[in-house]
Structure 1
Amino acid sequence: MAVLVAGHAVDDLYQGAVPALVPFLVLERGYGYLAVAGITVAATLLSSVVQPLFGWLTDRRPMPWLVPLGMTLAGVGVGLAGLSDSYVLTWLAIALSGLGVAAYHPEAARLARRVARDSHVGMSWFSVGGNVGFALGPVLVTPVLAFGGLAWSPLLAVPALVGGACTTVALRGVHSAGSAAGVRAGTDDWGQFSRLTVVIIARSVVTFGLGTFLALWVTSRVGGGPAAGAAALVVLFGAGAASTLLGGVLAGRFGRVRVLRVSYAVAIPAVAGVALVPGPAVYVMVALTAVSLYVPFSLHVTLGQDYLPNRLGTAGGVTLGLAVSVGGLGSPVVGAVAGATNLQWGLLSLVLMPVVAWVAARGLRSPRCELEPR
């Protein structure tokens, strides 16, 4: 589990790195809102299309080698993104990073659930690794590119290269261990899984929208240049990482479905506050938004796997990949609204998504394979 948690952090560092790249692309290349949103799409498009395929493959046979390979591709893509002034080549480099993320998540989630022995808290630790990586993305990108500009982007690939090599060594022998694992009993509930997918997509639209535009919004709101925007991303992803672990604890006491419903109810005013609260107090609203959006994060994964007990890879591919990535396709809509009006209205348009998530979550029920508080 330690290897998987650390590897998840390295892999998802590159998802957190993409939003942190945005201010530098705007500064050095003059990208507009729609161009910036296109970069976010590049990070999610291949991932959203291919990730279910990787999940299907890992359900048929264990493929632990996808874990270090996906991590390495995620880093190499981000590392190549700053080397060309061509928007197309930059887009393709970020898309390569998205492909690496797609390869990583289904197999890593399948292995993590087995190692955690179905523990909510154990899977929360795995999810915390990913969210810590998100939080570290801006911490890595901002000082490197602030000092050397986009030309220094290849240095951003170093953690992936080191992490991929270390993970390859650490996961030797995992194939046979995974093959020996028993088949989970139960009936796949595609109706509940589909409803859960709606919840995840709605949440993802908010997180990607904030990840893409939050740094620009906070910079204009409080001043301070790119550092102020990067600080907002650190608050968003850092508070989110801590809240992910809290979600596993709360689920053990109150039940996963109830925690999801309350979290998304809180998210509605919190997201509105990010767009409306003036001055430095915006950081408080960013933190509250992070708590409400990230407490349910690991619970999505375990619920999805329990709704599809015979397809852990597929469930992981959708809950950690497809549904999350599809949410990234909403960023161009936010960009279009911001371009037609202003960025504040673009962010306010995101408030609709927690409403959708809350309504969908009200129709969820506890999986048949488990008795938990309702």
Structure 2
Amino acid sequence: MLAAKTKTNNNTTPEQNTLYGILFIIGICHMLNDSIQAIIPAMFPILEKSMGLTFTQLGLISFALQVVSSVMQPVVGWYTDKKSMPYALPVGLTFTFFGVIGLSFAPTFTTIILSVLCIGIGSAVFHPEGSRVAYMAAGSRRGLAQSIYQVGGNSGQALAPVITALILVPLGQFGAIWFSLVAALAVGLLFYIARWYSQTLQKTVLIKKSKKSSTTSTQNSKAIKIALLMIVFIVFARSWYMSSMTNFYSFYIIEKYQYSISQSQVYIFIFLATGALGTFFGGPLADKFGKRNVILLSLLGSAPLAILLPFVGPYVAYGLVAVIGFILLSSFSVTVVYAQELLPGKIGTMSGLIVGLAFGMGAIGSIAIGSLADAIGLTSTIITMGFLPVLGILAFLLPSDKKLNEWNQI
């Protein structure tokens, strides 16, 4: 474990070398956690047929998972900013373990909801604390560290269509039981991370922001609030578009191209897999060219392609979903780091807020998009959602990276 000289105005970690071993392990745990979450939307086509669920009910299942995470994540982050709880990580994934078992045996819509609530609790605990671990191990390469952490999660999400095609289609709902083994593996790895986390806290004096830095933040509180509001709108646009793609685009493919469930999942896999690549490269690009620039280009760059997507043929769609996924998700980890540097004394709170906000927006989006699809049709809904990335223009209102550095005396 690397101890280091305490020279920082943040309340999380002193300057140190980037600890790639810790980052890769927490990234793997993120992949395992999010692959478990991914089985829920991956099961939608199966549950629709076996239980006769409507699009609105499917949206409610997604809502049950995501709203718990969105509400609890900033609360967990706020609490652990005040009182460190390294072993909350494996405890949280234990909830997920029991949720997966419940999901595989759930006989009714109500028991499915209860099971995904348990999975949501595990996610709510894992994400802000996992992001804090990435921050502690980052050294001076915060963008890269957050990308390694987040790309694990995006890779887990990208496994959803593979899970559907190889496990859930042949085995049905009960196939989810295999993911209890995934949860158990994650719990084991997180005990190792928690031990490192605890030892690092014992060796390190965690310093709150200096008085001068605090005064600077107070003087710029209005600008910070406006910037956070813009981040909220940007996360809204990205999350709702993501929700339309991951939860409902497969139905659009089946309806428009007359494809099977397995064939439709290929598009979602491509979208999420290239999104994982975009997440990884977004952090280093932000370290080099600026976080605001990456946030701006990720949404505005994907907007014209997202608008075009519903009108192309099945083969062109393969290429478009790949490029959209890469560009759009390049800002995912960058948005978290940007928020952390807006309020550097509240790492857990900002991590929980931004990632939790993404879950929450996606939860609301799942219900709204599902209801819209029931009301006006799937095709019209997918076309409408394609215009959401245009809201990325709001990134022009964000303070530049240079301004953030001036505020925080970095």
User: Can you list the C-alpha shifts for 1:187-209, whole angstroms capped at 9, x where unaligned?
Assistant: 45333223212211221111112
Gaps of 5+ in 1: none
Q: Tell me the TM-score normalised to structure 2 length.
A: 0.85
Higher mean alpha-carbon deviation, 23-32 vs 279-288, is at 279-288
Read off the aligned partner of 1:143 and give its amino acid letter: L
- Counterpart of 2:207? 183
Residue pair 2:300, 2:393 contacting (<8 A) in 1 also: no
CA contact (8 A) 1:10 1:133 kept: yes
- Matched residues in 1 for 2:205 and 2:236: separation? 31
1:86 aligned onto 2:116? no
Does structure 1 residue 166 correspond to structure 2 residue 189? yes
The counterpart of 2:395, out of the listed 361, 367, 373, is 361
Alignment coverage as a number of residue pairs: 371
Q: Tell me the TM-score normalized by structure 1.
A: 0.93
Partner of 1:237: 272
Residue matched to 2:144: 121
Contact 1:221 1:278 in 2 (8 A): no
Distance 2:393 2:175 in 1: 45
- Describe the superposition over 1:6-33 as per-residue Cα deviations: whole angstroms up to 9, x where unpaired: 1111111123222211111112112121
Aligned with 1:153 (options 156, 168, 176): 176
Map of 1:22 onto structure 2? 44
Q: Which among 309, 313, 325 is matched to residue 274 of structure 1?
A: 309
- 2:117 maps to 95
Q: Is the 8 A contact 2:29 2:189 kept in 1?
A: no
Cα 1:242/1:173, change in 2 over 3 Å: closer
In structure 2, relative to structure 1, the CA distance for the partners of 1:126 and 1:184 (3 Å cut) is farther
State how far apart, in whole Å, the 2-side matches of 1:7 and 1:15 are. Answer: 13
Bigger shift: residues 309-318 or 19-28:
19-28
Match for 2:155 among 129, 132, 135? 132
RMSD: 2.0
Q: For the residues of structure 2 that align with 1:212 and 1:121, how far apart are their CA atoms?
A: 29
104-113 vs 197-206, which deviates more?
Answer: 197-206
Q: CA deviation at 1:369?
A: 4.6
Residues 271-280 or 174-183, more deviating: 174-183
Determine if the alignment matches structure 1 residue 196 to structure 2 residue 218. Answer: no
Displacement after TM superposition at 1:60 (Å): 0.7
Detail structure 1 runs of 4+ shifted over 6 Å in the superposition. none
Tell me, in whole angstroms, the C-alpha distance in 2 between the residues paired with 1:11 and 1:178: 24
Q: Which has the larger radius of gyration?
A: 2
CA contact (8 A) 2:74 2:352 kept: yes
Residues 1:286 and 2:321 are matched in the alignment: yes
- The one-letter amino acid of 2:131's match is A
Per-residue deviation, residues 282-320 of structure 1 (Å, max 9, x unmatched): 222211220221010110111011001000000100111
Q: Shift in Å at residue 152 of structure 1? A: 2.8
Q: Which runs of 5+ in 2 are unaligned?
A: 1-22, 218-223
